[in-house]
Each structure stands twice: as structure tokens, then as C-alpha cells.
């Protein structure tokens, strides 16, 4: 058979089509760029999560919203870790029925206030007939106070407690609606609702400074998570010629009375804006309307409503959110209206009686709903304010055992630290300190203060000095930490 001439087809090569192959180094270059992008992305996420401060993280999120997905996870369930009640002779049932004059053990002295202890200074010349018109703008002379001059009351000054019966005025019937005009709305900067709301309330009296001025004396560290009511009261009393007072245990009718009297009032509330976990927040009340059962609020985060009339919130919703902070409020007034403010406060003029009223309210709410964690927590706060630390600790135990307190709760309210410390439960204080140190509240100076108190009590003087120094690094105006540190260094 004759051989067939079989022509083999050449293998395909790029040269066959007249195209030169890419240099091998280009392949390596592409691979290197890919790895660089991958490593850079991972590194950027690490820097975002672990290096940037919270305020810097928020600025990144504002520009690149998808970066929120890379934020460190919040505590599981969004709640404060539960705690088993300590062995105590005080049961929850005892707390619900305890009389206000129930004796308690003598508390260990502490200098950390849980509520503004300021009482309104009685002005002998103030009478109900001579208050200035709310439209009069007083002369305000803000001045920076050096760190060594800033101070706050360590305990209630009963010599200045308002005399409820002095200069008593018959309260006029409240109108069905009332509104205050003259506020300048202020959009808060990062984590700045306290200074922003305080500046808004002061603007009613002609205050010209911006929120940054208040912030430098209220939270020198921009990352500080909390400004307490007593700090805001101190700012007004020391930096302006106005007066301010804070009390717990307020109610809806009292808010209406202050608005009708054209006296600014700020409330501290729980808050859960869309896309966020629970937060503490301040709001300024500007109006009410009984026909609709709503208050109108200037909210430094959400805005001032359509046409600047304020954001409407029903009486029920406001009271529910206000309950989260034991219905704490701040009143800012001209000294000439002393008697009128005292009259509106009524029994709340006495800060200790205000705490008793708040306690009674919390007891009623806990009886109605034994699983109301805010009612139990408020009982603890009120008992702490009254110096009844055994009952306070038992109430806080009950609140924490329910397992539904927001995980940021002890960013803002430090009663549990004080109650546990003053009952010798140092491990419980440290447990709360460690929770704060791992959830963002390492920027809250009170966290370090109470850490230092426990270390000092246990004889770790070096550790206590470091803790008090960290507190002062967060807020150099924190007088309790400064006094504690000075005492150790004496």
C-alpha cells in the first residue's frame, strides 16, 4: 500500500497568528498588583477598626457608607451582660414595698455625684411680681475657668435646698398649648448632643457662643461619650449670669408648666435612631399641644421639624424614652425668676425629695410590670441618690438579671459603680469597668475613676494613680479624679 503523504497541522502558537506573547513579567506585575490591592484592603480595614478613633471612623462612614459593615461588632444581643444577684437579705419584693425611711447601713464616703446636687440659691430680693420678661436678653460674660477652679458639689448642699413654701405662688391654669420662640437651632457635631442642646437653650437668652465653646469645658476629649447633667448645670452657673438646676423624677405636667412659663428645659432620654443601637440623648422642649397630646422638641441630631416648629413627639412616647434616665431634666432660668421656678418644681425643689418621688414612681412601674428593667434601674439610681446603697445594689442586680438593659447604659449612668463600691462589691465594679473598657467607654472618664477607686481600696496605689491619671487625660476638669490623685500623692 503506498505511503500516504499526511501533512501534520502545526501546533497553535501565538506566532502562528502573528501575535507576540505578553512578556512574563507583565503576568507577575498583574499578580503583584492584585496582591497589593488585597493586602491594602485588609490593612485599611484593620486601620479603620483598630487604629482610627470613633470620630474618625464616623467621618469615613459619612463618605463611604459601606464601611459601616467593618465596624467592630456590638455586644451580643445589644444588651448589657446579665448578672446573678449577690447574696442579699433584700429581695425584689422588699424593694417594691420598702418605706422611704427604711434604715440602711452607713455608706462608705464617695465624692462622685449621681445627680446634680445643685439646689437653687434662694434670692431674698426675688418676688413673684418682679421677674424679668423672658424676651429680655441678659448680659452674658462667658469666661474659661482654669482646671483648678472648676468644681462640683460632692453631696447635696442642704443649706441651699429650696424652701417649697417660701414665696409660694398660686399656679395659673395651663393653656391648652404653649410655645417658646427665640431658640437658635444647632445641629450637633460628632457625639456632641450635650453641648449642642445646652447652647440651644442658652440661645433663648441671647447666648452667642457656639457648641464648641461649651464642649471644651464639658468634654475636652472629643471622643468622650457622655456629658452628665451636673456638668451642664455647673457650666451655666459658672460661665453665665443665668442659673440652672437638674432634678430626677420629673413628669409631663412639669414640662408643660415650664414651657408655659417660657423657661427653657432640657430632658435626658433614651434614643434609638434608625440604623443605630440604643443611645443616650438630650433634647430641648420648645412647645406642647394638649389637643394633640404632643410636645415639640429641638433635636440636635434629627432637626427642628418643618418650619422650625420642632419635632412632634407624643406625651406617651416622650415619657417612655424619658423613663430610661429616671426622667431627669435641666432647667435654665434668670435669677430673678427664682421664686417662680421654685414654685413649678414644688417638692422637686428639694433634690432629696425629688429622688424619693422618682423612687416612688419606679416602684409603681415595677409593680405594674415586674420585667420593666428601666423601672428597676431607676429604683437603683434613686436609692443611690438617697445614699441607700444596699437597696440600690439589689435594685441594679434585679435590672441586670433581666438581660435587656442596653449595652451603653453605663456609658451615661454610673449609679451601679457607686452602689456596688459602697457595699464593698469591688468585683462587680471591676466587671462593669471591664465591660466599658471593651465597648467604647474607655473614652468615658468615670470608667477610669471607678477603676481607680477599687484599686485604691485594695491597696494597689500605683494602679490607682494610673487609673485616676487616665480619667484626667479624658477630662482634665474632672475634679473627683483630680482630688483622688492629689490625695494619693500627698
Q: Note whether 55 and 201 are same-domain residues.
A: no
Cell, residue 18 = 502573528
**90-109: average pLDDT:** 64
Q: 277 with 408: CB under 8 angstroms? A: yes
Q: Is residue 427 part of a domain?
A: no
Q: Note whether 59 and 172 are same-domain residues.
A: no
Q: 409 with 377: CB under 8 angstroms? A: yes
**230-237: average pLDDT:** 97
Q: Is residue 185 part of a domain?
A: yes
Q: Is residue 258 part of a domain?
A: yes
Q: Which domain holds residue 51?
A: 23-72
* Dihedral angle, C-alpha 396, 397, 398, 400, nearest 10 °: 80
**380-392: average pLDDT:** 97
**2-12: average pLDDT:** 53
Q: Note whether 47 and 151 are same-domain residues.
A: no
Q: Note whether 168 and 32 are same-domain residues.
A: no
Of the ranges 130-134, 137-141, 196-200, which is most confident? 196-200
- Residue corresponding to grid cell 469591688: 426
**Strand pairing report for 265-271 and 329-333:** antiparallel
Q: Is residue 158 part of a domain?
A: yes
DSSP state of 106: P
Handedness of CA 7, 11, 15, 17 (dihedral sign): positive
Q: Note whether 154 and 297 are same-domain residues.
A: yes
**144-155: average pLDDT:** 32
Tell me the pLDDT band of 38, cut-offs 50, 70 and 90.
Answer: confident
Bridge partners of 329? Answer: 247, 267
User: φ, ψ for residue 282 (rounded to 5)?
Assistant: -105, 150
Which pLDDT score is estimated for 414?
Answer: 97
Domain count along the chain: 2
pLDDT over 70, % of the chain = 71
Residue 121 has pLDDT above 90, yes or no: no
Q: Note whether 49 and 191 are same-domain residues.
A: no
Per-residue pLDDT of 403-414, as tens digits, reads: 889 999 999 999
Q: What angle do CA 177, 179, 183 make, to 5 degrees?
A: 165
Domain final residue pick, 349, 365, 389: 349
Which pLDDT score is estimated for 34?
Answer: 79
Question: In whole numbers, what is the pLDDT of the chain averaged over residues?
Answer: 81
Q: Note whether 67 and 151 are same-domain residues.
A: no
Q: Which of 80-89, 256-265, 266-275 has the lowest mean pLDDT?
A: 80-89
Q: Is residue 306 part of a domain?
A: yes
Which pLDDT score is estimated for 485?
Answer: 97
Q: Is residue 466 part of a domain?
A: no
Tell me the pLDDT band of 61, cut-offs 50, 70 and 90.
Answer: low
Distance CA 466, CA 258 (A): 44
Which pLDDT score is estimated for 107?
Answer: 45
Domain final residue pick, 293, 328, 349: 349
Which pLDDT score is estimated for 106?
Answer: 43
Tell me the pLDDT band of 32, cut-offs 50, 70 and 90.
Answer: confident
Q: Is residue 120 part of a domain?
A: no
Q: Is residue 290 part of a domain?
A: yes
Per-residue pLDDT of 334-379, as tens digits, reads: 999 999 999 999 999 999 999 999 999 999 999 999 999 999 999 9
Q: Which of 9-18, 27-36, 120-129 has the lowest mean pLDDT?
A: 120-129
**79-99: average pLDDT:** 73
Angle formed by the axes of helices 445-457 and 415-422, nearest 10°: 10
Q: What is the DSSP string of 315-330?
A: HHHHHHHHGGGTT-EE
**Pick from 417, 426, 432, 326: which is nearest to 376 by CA?**
326
Distance CA 292, CA 176 (A): 10
**Pick from 415, 447, 426, 403: which is nearest to 80 by CA?**
403
Q: What is the CATH number of the domain that holds 219?
A: 3.90.70.10
Per-residue pLDDT of 291-350, as tens digits, reads: 999 999 999 999 999 889 999 999 999 999 999 999 999 999 999 999 999 999 999 999
Q: How many CB atoms lie within 10 A of CB 261?
A: 22
Domain final residue pick, 309, 334, 349: 349
298 CB-near residues (< 8 Å, 6+ apart): 183, 185, 197, 200, 283, 284, 286, 304, 310, 311
Amino acid at each position: 500500500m503506498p505511503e500516504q503523504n499526511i501533512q501534520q497541522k502545526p501546533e497553535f502558537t501565538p506566532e502562528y497568528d502573528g501575535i507576540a506573547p505578553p512578556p512574563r513579567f507583565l503576568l507577575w506585575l498583574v499578580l503583584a498588583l492584585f496582591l497589593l490591592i488585597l493586602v491594602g484592603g485588609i490593612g485599611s480595614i484593620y486601620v479603620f477598626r483598630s487604629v482610627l478613633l470613633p470620630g474618625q471612623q464616623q467621618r469615613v462612614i459619612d463618605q463611604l457608607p459601606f464601611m459601616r459593615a467593618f465596624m467592630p461588632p456590638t455586644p451580643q444581643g445589644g444588651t448589657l451582660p446579665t448578672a446573678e444577684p449577690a447574696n442579699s437579705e433584700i429581695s425584689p419584693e422588699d424593694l417594691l414595698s420598702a418605706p422611704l425611711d427604711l434604715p440602711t447601713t452607713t455608706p462608705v464616703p464617695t465624692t462622685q455625684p449621681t445627680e446634680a446636687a445643685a439646689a437653687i440659691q434662694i434670692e431674698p430680693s426675688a418676688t413673684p411680681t418682679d421677674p424679668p420678661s423672658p424676651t429680655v436678653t441678659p448680659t452674658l460674660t462667658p469666661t474659661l475657668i482654669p482646671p483648678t477652679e472648676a468644681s462640683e458639689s460632692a453631696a447635696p448642699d442642704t443649706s441651699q435646698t429650696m424652701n417649697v413654701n417660701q414665696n409660694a405662688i398660686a399656679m395659673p391654669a395651663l393653656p391648652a398649648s404653649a410655645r417658646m420662640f427665640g431658640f437658635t437651632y444647632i445641629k450637633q457635631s460628632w457625639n456632641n448632643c450635650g453641648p449642642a442642646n445646652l447652647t440651644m437653650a442658652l440661645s433663648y437668652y441671647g447666648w452667642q457662643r457656639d457648641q464648641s465653646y461649651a464642649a471644651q469645658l464639658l468634654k475636652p476629649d472629643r471622643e468622650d461619650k457622655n456629658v452628665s447633667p451636673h456638668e451642664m448645670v455647673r457650666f451655666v452657673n459658672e460661665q453665665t449670669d443665668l442659673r440652672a438646676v437638674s432634678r430626677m423624677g420629673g413628669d409631663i405636667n412639669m414640662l408643660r408648666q415650664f414651657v408655659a412659663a417660657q423657661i427653657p428645659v432640657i430632658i435626658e432620654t433614651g434614643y434609638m435612631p434608625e440604623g443605630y443601637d440604643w443611645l443616650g440623648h438630650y433634647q430641648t422642649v420648645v412647645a406642647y399641644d394638649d389637643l394633640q397630646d404632643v410636645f415639640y422638641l429641638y433635636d440636635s441630631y434629627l432637626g427642628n421639624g418643618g418650619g422650625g416648629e420642632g419635632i412632634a413627639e407624643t406625651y406617651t412616647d416622650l415619657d417612655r424614652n424619658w423613663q430610661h434616665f429616671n426622667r431627669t431634666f435641666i432647667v435654665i432660668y434668670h435669677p430673678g425668676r427664682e421664686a417662680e421656678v421654685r414654685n413649678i418644681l414644688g417638692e422637686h425643689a428639694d433634690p432629696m425629695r425629688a429622688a424619693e418621688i422618682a423612687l416612688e414612681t419606679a416602684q409603681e412601674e415595677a409593680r405594674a410590670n415586674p420585667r420593666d428593667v428601666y423601672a428597676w434601674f431607676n429604683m437603683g439610681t434613686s436609692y443611690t441618690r438617697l445614699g441607700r446603697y444596699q437597696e440600690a445594689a439589689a435594685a441594679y442586680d434585679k435590672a441586670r438579671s433581666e438581660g435587656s438593659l442596653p449595652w451603653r447604659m453605663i456609658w451615661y449612668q454610673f449609679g451601679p459603680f457607686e452602689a456596688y463600691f459602697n457595699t464593698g462589691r469591688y468585683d462587680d465594679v471591676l466587671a462593669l469597668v471591664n465591660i466599658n473598657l471593651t465597648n467604647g467607654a474607655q473614652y468615658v472618664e468615670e470608667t477610669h475613676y471607678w477603676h481607680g477607686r477599687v484599686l485604691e481600696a485594695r491597696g494597689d496605689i500605683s494602679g490607682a494613680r494610673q487609673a485616676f491619671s487616665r480619667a484626667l487625660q479624658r477630662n482634665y476638669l474632672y475634679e473627683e479624679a483630680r482630688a483622688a490623685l492629689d490625695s494619693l500623692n500627698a
